[in-house]
Structure 1
């Protein structure tokens, strides 16, 4: 795991009870994890401003969220996180609090990270129907096949449908492009 020098310096400063008292530290750690998992229930960072300077709270919150996000992204468990923090010369009760909180919320952090992104949905099923169009409202003699295609997609365990209509030529072109994409993926997998 790679954290910036400023984040590591901020985590080191968090170990000092004169900067942030123990109660505020514990509340801030819990708030950071809950805000990452979307469970803050209407609370915001301003609730901490009365006990400590605003810049210190904002910096501490940023450092804590960076630590938790990177740990979840690297799929660390609490023991790996503890080892990493000790290798960075961070020890004490506050490090134990960080590791214990991470251990409790690890799965929900990883799940939340998995739901972020702009990945395309996976096609899991295809349904199609063939209609023969004899004439339309604009043309008296059409006489061509019309394919109605429905793709079933899945993204973040959510099923959605993509419906479209195409001609025989357009369907053949789609199938050709899909076969071409499969060939390219097979080439990449053999490298």
Structure 2
């Protein structure tokens, strides 16, 4: 094993095929996302986890953890923005990534239009 291997490969799981671990991780993540996406109640979740061979105690633990860390629906779009900016004097560029709501995006567009108008006025003078 290389020194830059993930921690899980150094512990109890070091004898498990890394590809199999990745597939298991993807399956678990996908299941959790689907459960959250469909806002599954406890009985639906229990049925699903029983089919996955979870015992009652693990189902209860999973459900309580899911409920404690579950993000409530906002029902509002979020926009992921990437601005490619040029670093003054260097000629190189950098990306600025952020997310915003519709109102924040509209505010940003308004401010950018104002900045463009100001630059236009300055270049005419």
Normalising by the smaller structure, the TM-score range is 0.3 to 0.5
Structure with more strand by fraction: 1
Q: Structure 1 length as normaliser, TM-score?
A: 0.33
